[in-house]
Structures are given as C-alpha cells and as structure tokens.
C-alpha cells in the first residue's frame, strides 16, 4: 500500500497541487507536525461516540474522521457506547444521556438554537469531551469549531466553549445571473450550473455547503439582486429545490431574489401594484408553490426602485407597501423579506449619500415583523473606506441587516490582496451614539441595542467557478472572515486572520506573524493607493477597474467620479458639512458634530465630508496636496512590503500557491502605481503643485491613463 499512497501524494504535487490545495480552502487539515501537540491530541482523544443518525450527524462524523485522519494520521476508535475515558462524545441535547444533559444543564441555558458546547467533563470519574447543541446543525457547528482547535494547534485539555451565533441570518448574496455571468464576479462564473440542474449535482455544491457550514453561514441567496423573474417559474424552482436539498443537512437555507414585476413577466398580470388583489394573490400562490417544494425556503431578497429595478414606486406605492405585501405572502411559511435600502435617484438632486436615509428613516416601525431592511455598510457603495451608514441606529423599531461586499468590486477585483475583515470590523465598531455612547453598529446588527428579534449579516459573495473559488488565494480569507464576523460581529480581525492562515497554510510562527501583518495592513494599503483621506468613487466607470477621476460624461451625475471628488483650483472633497449638503445631520448629534468640524473630522474621512484647500495643514504638518501625494506613495510602498514579506514565506507554502500570490502581488504593485500616477497627475491639474519629496514620478502621461479602455473587464453589470 505504501507505494500506492506515495503515488497519490506525488501527483498532488506534480500535476495539480494548486487545484487541490486552493480548492480545499481553509479545510486543509494539514498534518500536525508539532509532536507535543499531536501527542496531546492522541492521548486525549482515544475514541469517538456519535449519537444520532441524521444526515447532518453523518456529515459531522465524516468530517471528524477526515480531520483526524488528515491531521493525526489515524482515526480514534469509533464506539457505539461510551466506554473508557478520553472519548469525544458528539450529539444533540436530545440524544445525550440524562447524566451528560444534567452535567451541561447550565451551558444549554446559555446557548440559542444554533449554539454549541464543547466541554471537557467528568463522567463517572472518567474524562470525556462532549460536543453538543440543541439540534444536529448546532452539533455540526461544534464539530467544525472543534476541528478548528486542532487545525490551529490549540490545546484540547479542559475545554469549555459555549458559543452561539449573535445573528439569525448569516447569508451570502450571490449576484449570479441565469446565464452564469456574475455581476461583480471576479472568480470565474457562477457555481450554479442551471443547465445541468436538477439532475446533475456538481460536487462543488456539496463542497460549497461544507465550507459555509464550517464558518456558520446558514443562508444563501442564489440569484442576482438585479433579478430575473424566470427563477420563480417551475422550470427553475425544480433546480432551486435540488440545491436546497443539497444544502439542507449543512444548515443552509436557500433564498431567492424577487423581481418586483414578476407578476407581469411570468404571471400574465397587467400590473405589479402591491395593493392590487390579483398581485397580492399571485405572490401568495407563488410563495405556497415554492414552500411546497422547499419547506424551509428562507424568503426573498429584493432590490426595488433602485438602479432601474422595478418596485412599488412604479405604482405610486412606497417601499413599506412593497415589502409588507411580500412579507404577508411568506409569513405563513416562516419566510422573511430582506428589503434593500440601497436606493438613490437620478431625479433627486440631493447628495446621493443622503438619499437612502431620507427615504427609509421615516418608515421606521412600519414594516411587518418578518421584514428586515438590508443596509450597505456605507452610504455610497462599498468603497475602500466609507463612514458607517447613517441608517444604523436611526431606525430603532426596524430590524436592520448589514450588507457587506466580499467581492472586491471597488478594491482591485481578485488580483489585489485586501483582507476585508479589517474593513468590516471598522464599520461594526463604529459608534452611532444613537442610544448614547457605545451604540455601535455591531449592536444594531446583532439586535442588542434595540432588542430586535430578527437580525442578520449579508455578504455579497466573491465565489465563482475558479479552481480556487475566489480568484485570489487570499480572497478566501474574506469569505472566511465574513462568516466568522456574521457569527460574532465582535471578533477581532487579527484573530480571524490568524485562524485562517493556520487553517489554510501553516502553523509556523515564522510564517504566521509577518503574513498576518500584511493581511492586517492590506486594507489601509488599498485605501492609500486608491482613495486616501476620504476620497471615494473615483474608479473608472461601469466596470470600476482602475482609476477614472476624470470621468464626467455619464448621463447620471452621481455616476461620475467628478461628482464625488469635486477637485478644483481651491481644493478637493465633497462638502457634506452643514455648509454643504448637510449629510452630517443624518448622524446622531455627537457624530454629526465630529464629522462637521474640520478640526475633529477624522482625517481618514476628511474629503468625504469636506471640500478642503490644497494648502490645508494636516495633523502631521503636511499640506493637503503633499499629504495626499504621500498617502498614494505610502500605498505603493505597502504593496512592496507585502511582496518582501511574501517572498520570505516561500518555504512555508506549497510552490503553486506561493507563485500564484507572488504573481498577483506583482499585478497589485503595477496597479497601485497606476492608481497613484493617474490620480496624482489628474489632481495636479487643479492643485498646480509639484510632487513632494519621496513621491515617485509617473513614467506615463495623464493622457495615456485616460486612453486606457477595458471593454471586457469582468463583472460589469
């Protein structure tokens, strides 16, 4: 057998190690090479007792076996009953013996339905470890968490973990079209092979579910928010049902986007007016049809009256009318409506940043119980940095769901290493002051600030059919980190980075420390080389690839970068202070005051809120122009440092992933320079000033940068 084994091992390395390793995400289950740690694991884990026999429990058992075999080279004895000591006992509360249940009584009181317990206990004076929860899905979460302990080489002695997810809906939003193109997708095309569904179940569906379950994601919206009504026809629902069947044992519910005009397009009605009885009935019947196929269908995500999508306003109704009508349709089946607050109108001359708040805040308290309003993290659109969205904390009677973007629409596509949990954390930690100091966005999102029952976090997926799922090996960390933060919005992004690195690459401290550092720095790097000091939305238009601060010819003013930076001879920045659009007034008074005052406004948000003179003195004593230029240069320098660190990581990483990241960092450096040079040459026209010392000069002209065209940049929606 040995030679046979060796055969496979070698192939792994010689032919498609990349496919293999990249594909496995953070579930590498690398062999535990630290012998002390391995011994501890073997000594404390002599047997496995699995209670229950649902599909979910079988998945948990298989996962444990895989994990043990891969990490320790052997599987502890599988026992039918608890005999001897040092057993791992795995099962839901219902399946536990009375003795264990009473042992864990206090712990069970602490967890919710999805929470789990991992605990070292003594049963008849024998040491055992129990993994349990109130149902089998919770047990599966516990198993993945336990395996993570092994993956990160932590001790299994005296375990006492009692953990519950802090939000109800932890969900990926796939902006996937029925033709398998993905809007803002940079990792190939959609995973969902509609042509071969329902009869062909791609192995990837299973591996996708497994990866999500391992980080606690419990929902997936299969289709683009710019929706196609055909997904709601029997022809497609049969396919959706097949996916739901695959995902169910992994605790993942399927959701769909509902095109508001579907009653017209596929229902042969003349209207989609949410007050029309036929329309109301159509959605009720359609919902019943869906729930008949998929009894645990999650519900609908809706983008209405936004960027050309139809909605209730087409009929003189408002968002509340639309959302509540749909909410009534799914309520009998326990479904929810996730209604997006991402609205702005080309007919509204008001600052785009103010429009969602202006539209939605007055609706507070008017939505049905099973509606949750999905709000992007910032008021514009997933920029490298935005101040938190003013709606957070401003609608106490309405559940608000966070919408993060995992796919890097505005952050370098899948060629830039940018660790997004750092961005997510910054938003979640922001203090809205809406209910006094400490009213953080996280508390709004997890419902603790206003005691909302329905809570959730959505992430626009960065997943495609690339061999490595996400295009960039490090973009896997953003999927991972999103899931971890959706489970617990208070987690520190450094901890997430470290968990991910250990599970994905290596437990070697000489690798972890420097590479973790570049991950943590990477978000600030992209801000620096793209949009420092509060600049935003100066990407080239449509595809959003590369710099385009000069673009000013689009029909909708708020799609033009010039709308956002407002550079002129006097300075640069969007005046949202009281003397400007007064967008600051949408925040709580303490926050509004902070942002409104040029002196107290954080410099990272300076040009978001203020139009500032080129000669304005920054806190470090530099003029704004010099400071801006130095920030751009700093971004480039940070990428160079990322390269230095990565080059030293070669010995800890397989050669293919090492080379992939190396090539990608080369592209990132090239594009960071492109951003720096194009933006500084463009803004220099207004500032009329020389570049300060330390800032490298462009080798190309502004005209060259303006001439670049990318008609086939991916993900253009």
Provide the minimum distance between the beta carbon of 200 and its own copies in the complex, in angstroms, as a whole number: 5
Q: Are 175 and 182 in contact (CB under 8 A)?
A: yes
Catalytic annotation on 431? no
Instruction: Find out whether 339 and 225 touch, Cβ atoms under 8 Å.
Output: no
Candidate list 409, 540, 558, 634, residue with the active-site label: 409
The smaller minimum CB distance to its own copies, of residues 46 and 284, is found at 46
Interface contacts to its own copies, rule CB under 8 A: 2-12, 14-16, 18-20, 23-24, 27, 29-31, 62, 66, 69-74, 178-181, 186, 188-189, 194-196, 199-201, 203-204, 207, 230, 413, 415, 465-467, 656, 660, 663-664, 666-667, 670, 711-714
Contact 498, 443 (CB under 8 A): no
At residue 457, φ and ψ (nearest 5 deg) are -135, 130
Quick one: 413 or 424, whose CB is closer to its own copies? 413
Tell the smallest beta-carbon distance from residue 465 to its own copies (Å).
6
CB of 277 or CB of 711, closer to its own copies: 711
Q: Tell me whether residue 473 is exposed, middle or buried, using C-beta atoms within 10 angstroms of its C-beta: 0 to 12, 13 to 18, 19 or more.
A: buried
Q: For residues 242 and 341, which CB has a smaller minimum distance to its own copies in the complex?
A: 242
For the bound state, the minimum distance from the C-beta of residue 502 to its own copies, rounded and expressed in Å, comes to 16
Q: Among this protein's residues, is 199 annotated catalytic?
A: no
Minimum distance between the CB of residue 198 and its own copies, rounded to whole angstroms?
10
Smallest gap from Cβ 10 to its own copies, in A, equals: 5
Cβ proximity to its own copies: between 31 and 112 the closer is 31
Catalytic pick from 40, 307, 590, 641? 307
**Active-site annotation holder among 70, 241, 351, 381:** 381
What is the smallest separation between the CB atom of 9 and its own copies, expressed in angstroms?
5
Q: CA–CA separation, 339 vs 400, rounded Å?
A: 10
In the complex, least distance from residue 589 CB atom to its own copies, rounded to whole angstroms: 46
Strands (E), 384-449: 400-405
551 token code pair? 């673009």
Which of these, 668, 663, 676, 665, lies nearest to 705 by C-alpha position?
A: 676
Residues 6 or more apart from 171 whose CB is under 8 A from it?
217, 218, 219, 220, 221, 255, 298, 338, 456, 457, 458, 459, 486
Q: Minimum distance between the CB of residue 349 and its own copies, rounded to whole angstroms?
A: 36
Report the C-alpha gap between 268 and 271 in whole angstroms: 9
Q: Is 42 exposed, middle or buried (0-12, 13-18, 19+ CB in 10 A)?
A: middle
Strand duo 116-123 + 77-79: pairing: unpaired
- Going from the C-alpha of 592 to that of each of 243, 390, 576, the distances in angstroms are 46, 10, 10
> Distance from CA of residue 320 to its chain's centroid?
27
Nearer to its own copies (CB atom), residue 19 or residue 78: 19
- Between the CA of residue 39 and those of 32, 89, 121, 217, what are the distances in Å? 10, 20, 20, 32
- When the beta carbons of 472 and 631 are compared against its own copies, the nearer one is 472
Strand locations in 85-149, DSSP E?
A: 87-90, 116-123, 126-133
DSSP output for 554-576: -SSGGGSHHHHH--BTTEES---
509 classed as catalytic:
no
Strands (E), 535-645: 571-572, 612-613
User: Which CB, 38 or 269, lies closer to its own copies?
Assistant: 38
Q: Is residue 621 exposed (0-12), middle (13-18) or buried (19+ Cβ within 10 Å)?
A: exposed
Which residues are tagged catalytic? 307, 381, 409
């Amino acid at each position: 057998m040995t030679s046979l084994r060796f055969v496979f091992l070698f192939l792994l390395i010689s032919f498609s190690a990349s496919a293999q390793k990249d594909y496995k995400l953070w579930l590498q289950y690398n062999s535990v090479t630290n012998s002390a740690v391995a011994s501890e694991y073997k000594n404390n884990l002599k047997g496995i007792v699995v209670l229950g026999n649902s599909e979910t429990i079988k998945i948990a058992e298989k996962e444990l076996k895989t994990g043990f075999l891969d990490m320790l080279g052997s599987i502890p004895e599988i026992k039918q009953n608890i005999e001897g000591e040092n057993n791992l006992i795995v099962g839901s509360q219902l399946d536990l013996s009375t003795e264990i249940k009473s042992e864990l009584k206090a712990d069970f009181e602490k967890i919710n339905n999805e929470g789990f317990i991992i605990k070292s206990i003594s049963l008849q004076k024998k040491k055992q470890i129990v993994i349990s929860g109130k149902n089998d899905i919770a047990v599966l979460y516990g198993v993945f968490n336990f395996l993570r302990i092994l993956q990160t080489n932590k001790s299994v002695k005296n375990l006492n973990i009692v953990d519950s997810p802090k939000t109800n809906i932890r969900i990926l939003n796939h902006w996937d079209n029925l033709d398998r193109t993905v809007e803002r997708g940079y990792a190939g095309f959609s995973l969902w092979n509609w042509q071969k569904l329902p009869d062909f179940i791609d192995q990837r569906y299973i591996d996708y579910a497994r990866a999500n379950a391992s980080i606690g994601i419990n929902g997936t919206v299969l289709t683009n928010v710019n929706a196609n009504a055909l997904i709601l026809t029997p022809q497609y629902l049969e396919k959706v049902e097949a996916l739901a069947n695959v995902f169910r044992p992994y605790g993942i519910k399927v959701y769909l986007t509902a095109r508001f005009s579907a009653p017209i397009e596929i229902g042969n009605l003349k209207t989609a007016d949410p007050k029309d009885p036929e329309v109301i009935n159509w959605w009720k019947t359609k919902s019943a049809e869906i729930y008949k196929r998929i009894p645990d269908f999650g519900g609908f995500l809706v983008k209405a009256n936004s960027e050309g999508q139809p909605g209730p306003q087409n009929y003189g109704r408002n968002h509340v009318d639309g959302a509540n009508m749909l909410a009534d349709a799914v309520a009998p089946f326990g479904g929810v409506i996730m209604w997006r607050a991402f609205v702005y109108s080309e007919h509204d001359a008001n600052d785009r940043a103010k429009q969602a708040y202006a539209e939605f805040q007055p609706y507070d308290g008017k939505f049905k119980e099973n509606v949750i309003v999905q709000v992007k993290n910032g008021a514009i659109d997933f920029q490298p940095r935005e101040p938190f969205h003013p709606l957070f904390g401003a609608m106490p009677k309405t559940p608000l769901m966070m919408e993060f973007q995992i796919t890097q629409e505005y952050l370098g596509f899948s060629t830039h290493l940018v660790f997004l949990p750092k961005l997510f954390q910054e938003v979640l930690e922001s203090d809205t002051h809406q209910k006094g100091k400490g009213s953080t966005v996280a508390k709004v999102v997890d419902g603790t600030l206003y005691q909302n029952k329905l809570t959730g976090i959505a992430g626009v997926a960065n997943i495609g059919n690339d061999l490595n799922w996400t295009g960039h090996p490090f973009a896997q960390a953003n999927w991972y980190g999103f899931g971890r933060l959706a489970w617990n919005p208070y987690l520190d992004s450094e901890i997430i980075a470290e968990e991910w690195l250990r599970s994905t690459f290596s437990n070697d401290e000489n690798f972890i420390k420097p590479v973790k550092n570049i991950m943590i720095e990477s978000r600030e790097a992209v801000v620096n080389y793209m949009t420092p000091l509060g600049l935003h939305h100066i990407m080239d238009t449509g595809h959003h690839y590369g710099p385009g601060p000069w673009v000013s010819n689009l029909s909708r003013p708020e799609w033009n970068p010039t709308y956002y930076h407002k550079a002129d001879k006097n300075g640069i920045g969007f005046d949202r202070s009281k003397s400007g659009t007064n967008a600051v007034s949408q925040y709580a008074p303490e926050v509004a005051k902070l942002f409104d005052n040029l002196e107290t406004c954080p410099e990272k948000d300076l040009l978001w809120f203020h139009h500032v003179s080129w000669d304005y003195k920054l806190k470090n004593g530099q003029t704004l122009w010099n400071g801006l230029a130095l920030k751009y240069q700093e971004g480039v320098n940070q990428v160079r440092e990322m390269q230095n660190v990565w080059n030293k990581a070669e010995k800890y990483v397989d050669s293919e992933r090492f080379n992939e990241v190396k090539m990608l960092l080369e592209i990132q450096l090239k594009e960071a320079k492109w951003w720096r040079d194009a933006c500084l040459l463009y803004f220099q026209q207004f500032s009329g000033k020389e570049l300060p010392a330390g800032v490298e000069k462009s080798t190309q002209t502004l005209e060259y940068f303006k001439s670049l065209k990318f008609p086939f940049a991916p993900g253009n929606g």
